[in-house]
């Protein structure tokens, strides 16, 4: 089906429900829906048409339309179509009926809308705070347009604690995080454990939410945002800069140069390669297989060198601009990259054979962290998690972008639904990434790497883009605006959805398997700026406030104690 075919199906079933429509491309569809019909339409799209849930977005559009906006995004992967269902909400009553009882994977998005924009999803089964700090005042919503980007609420209560659920009868609550030896970043799983078996858990994250989207719509300009987008994730930085640029380009009806699209594809696959090699090493370390840990990192290192040769940096490439890229791939760099790929492929064949035959790895991973097809659908799980459960979704194939429609590759699928299958998906995808890069180097056309944009981008245009990050689909939603910056930029990283599947994946499993089950989704969090300090002489613990940490840093810089 094309976007118009999807539109005709919806119109045939819900005549009079659509207030306004926009079909900017054959594979993009924006529909404004009557507020009282949104639940029925979401049920039809998600259940009857079997669309995949992507994300829900809340927007403060009062300066322009006098209303708030909610967008529920869905994907028709086999038909290469992205659908956005939009609802206007009155400024004095920003409430909308919940959809998370129909689409369980929408729960976090509805809680986030309430926290950041002040839009309430009426009837949502769980409306606990998600993003904002525990002591943030209830009546302050940072993504509203009348809240400055640097506003600090005077009534903030830094001593307020999150109200965790009580452990079920017969269980004890075991904290996993926010600081744990197997976690590089802060997150808190409150595990409810009976003996050695996990019976349930509650999650509290977003402890160091950085306000990146707020900076984008109030401080930064279109071509400054890619630099910030790269810092959303320490591994998938190139992904976020490219998907943001593509969302803006789609909204503004412009297209990057053909050579730039090939370069974007190459750098995205270099990023996928080093991410998969990194994950295989870290997963092996969690399992106690440190030989593979060291081998994976050794094999990965030449990739980091070639990335630095191409862009000047091992990881943050500063690659994207609207309409193109900054860095070209010269014939000498192309030759060096081919040599690196040849070496990685030769060594990874031996690693793959060793892993496939290792009985100890299989014992620790088979039947562990199970996510079946039903959970993938309900929680909108993505990437290797979905493909390891027999669900063949891959944005490179389903929603082609950059140069992916000009190369051949296989969507790697396993059917074990467990950690072992996720390991095998990533091991096999290494070879597909090498295959894609080689084709891009062979087919890359001559020409400019940037468009020359002289006109201001039109305001009030909607764009959405999906890219297959190493962890799964990253989805960006952009509304273009005035002052050379977007009105709204919503980022949905793959971990945002995949984390919502973890409680079901670890339920009724051994506590000892928690680390590898969580690790199998390759979770990405952010750095911390708040910590606990324990005096080893007295055993006393102190929690530093943000102001105390700032004072310590300033004193240190000034050479004061």
pLDDT band at 15 (very low <50, low <70, confident <90, very high): confident
H/E segment holding residue 342: helix 331-356
Q: Which residues pair with 510 in a beta bridge?
A: 197
Question: What integer is the mean pLDDT of 240-261?
Answer: 96
Q: What percent of the chain has pLDDT over 70?
A: 92
Using only C-alpha atoms, the chain has a radius of gyration, in whole angstroms, of 24
Q: Pairing mode, if any, of strands 67-76 and 52-61? A: antiparallel
What's the mean pLDDT in 527-534?
34
Average of per-residue pLDDT across 302-331: 93
Considering the chain, tell me which residue range(s) the CATH 1.10.645.10 domain(s) occupy.
212-519
Pure H helices in 192-330: 212-218, 225-229, 237-252, 258-287, 290-311
Does the pLDDT value for residue 405 go beyond 70? yes
* Count of Cβ atoms closer than 10 Å to residue 267 Cβ: 26
Cα 420–chain centre separation:
23
Give the pLDDT confidence of 372-384 residue by residue, as tens digits.
Answer: 999 999 999 999 9
Instruction: State pLDDT tens for residues 142-181.
Output: 999 999 988 888 888 888 888 899 999 999 999 887 776 6
Quick one: average pLDDT of 260-286?
95
In angstroms, the CA 252 to CA 246 distance is: 10
CATH 3.30.460.80 assigned to domain 3-132? The reply is yes
Query: If pLDDT is split at 50, 70 and 90, which confidence band does 525 have?
Result: low
74 three-class SS: strand
pLDDT band at residue 455 under the 50/70/90 scheme:
confident
CA-nearest of 533, 481, 521 to 189 is 521
349-358 burial, b if ≥16 CB within 10 A, otherwise e?
eebbeebeeb
pLDDT for position 323: 95
Residues of the chain with CATH 3.30.460.80: 3-132
Q: Tens digits of per-residue pLDDT, 279-300?
A: 999 999 999 889 999 999 999 9
**Cα–Cα dist 306/290, whole Å:** 26
**Structure token digits, residue 382:** 């993505």
Given CATH 3.40.30.10, say whether it is the number of domain 212-519.
no
Of 496, 456, 457, nearest in space to 479 by CA? 457
């Amino acid at each position: 089906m094309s976007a118009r075919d999807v539109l005709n199906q919806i119109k045939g079933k819900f005549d009079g429900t659509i207030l306004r429509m926009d079909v900017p491309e054959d594979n993009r569809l924006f529909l404004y829906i009557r507020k009282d019909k949104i639940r029925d339409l979401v049920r039809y799209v998600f259940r009857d048409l079997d669309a995949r849930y992507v994300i829900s977005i809340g927007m403060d559009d009062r300066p322009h339309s006098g209303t708030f906006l909610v967008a529920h995004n869905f994907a028709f992967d086999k038909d290469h179509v992205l659908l956005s269902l939009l609802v206007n909400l009155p400024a004095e009553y920003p409430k909308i009926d919940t959809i998370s009882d129909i689409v369980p994977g929408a729960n976090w998005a509805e809680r986030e809308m309430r926290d950041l924009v002040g839009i309430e999803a009426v009837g949502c089964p769980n409306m606990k705070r998600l993003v904002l700090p525990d002591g943030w005042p209830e009546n302050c919503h940072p993504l509203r347009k009348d809240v400055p980007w640097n506003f600090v609420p005077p009534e903030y209560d830094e001593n307020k604690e999150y109200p965790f659920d009580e452990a079920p009868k017969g269980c004890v609550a075991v904290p996993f995080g926010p600081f744990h030896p197997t976690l590089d970043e802060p997150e808190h799983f409150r595990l409810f454990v009976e003996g050695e078996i996990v019976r349930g858990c509650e999650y509290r994250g977003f402890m160091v939410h950085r306000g990146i989207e707020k900076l984008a719509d109030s401080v930064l300009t279109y071509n400054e945002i890619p630099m910030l987008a790269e810092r959303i994730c320490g591994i998938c930085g190139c992904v976020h800069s490219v998907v943001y640029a593509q969302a803006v380009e789609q909204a503004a009806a412009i297209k990057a140069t053909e050579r730039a699209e090939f370069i974007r594809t190459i750098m995205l696959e270099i990023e996928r390669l080093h991410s998969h090699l990194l994950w295989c090493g870290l997963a092996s370390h969690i399992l106690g297989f440190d030989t593979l840990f060291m081998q994976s990192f050794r094999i990965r290192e030449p990739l980091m060198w070639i990335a630095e040769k191409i862009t000047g940096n091992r990881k943050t490439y500063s690659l994207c601009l609207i309409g193109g890229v900054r860095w070209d791939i010269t014939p000498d760099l192309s030759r060096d990259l081919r040599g690196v790929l040849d070496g990685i492929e030769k060594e990874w064949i031996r690693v793959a054979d060793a892993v496939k035959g290792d009985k100890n790895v299989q014992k620790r991973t088979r039947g562990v962290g199970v996510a079946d097809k039903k959970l993938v659908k309900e929680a909108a799980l993505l990437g290797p998690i979905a493909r390891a459960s027999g669900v063949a979704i891959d944005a490179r194939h389903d929603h082609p972008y950059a140069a992916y429609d000009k190369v051949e590759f296989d969507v790697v699928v396993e059917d074990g639904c467990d950690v072992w299958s996720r390991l095998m998906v990533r091991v096999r995808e290494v070879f597909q990434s090498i295959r894609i890069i080689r084709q891009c180097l062979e087919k890359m056309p001559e020409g400019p790497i940037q468009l020359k944009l002289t006109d201001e981008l039109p305001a009030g245009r909607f764009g959405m883009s999906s890219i297959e990050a190493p962890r799964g689909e990253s989805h960006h939603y952009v509304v273009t605006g005035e002052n050379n910056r977007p009105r709204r930029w919503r980022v949905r990283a793959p971990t945002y959805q995949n984390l919502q599947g973890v409680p079901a994946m670890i339920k009724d499993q051994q506590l000892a398997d928690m680390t590898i089950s969580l690790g199998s989704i390759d979770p990405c969090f952010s750095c911390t700026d708040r910590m606990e300090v324990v005096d080893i002489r007295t055993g006393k613990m102190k929690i530093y406030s943000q102001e105390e940490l700032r004072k310590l840093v300033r004193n240190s810089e000034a050479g004061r104690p």
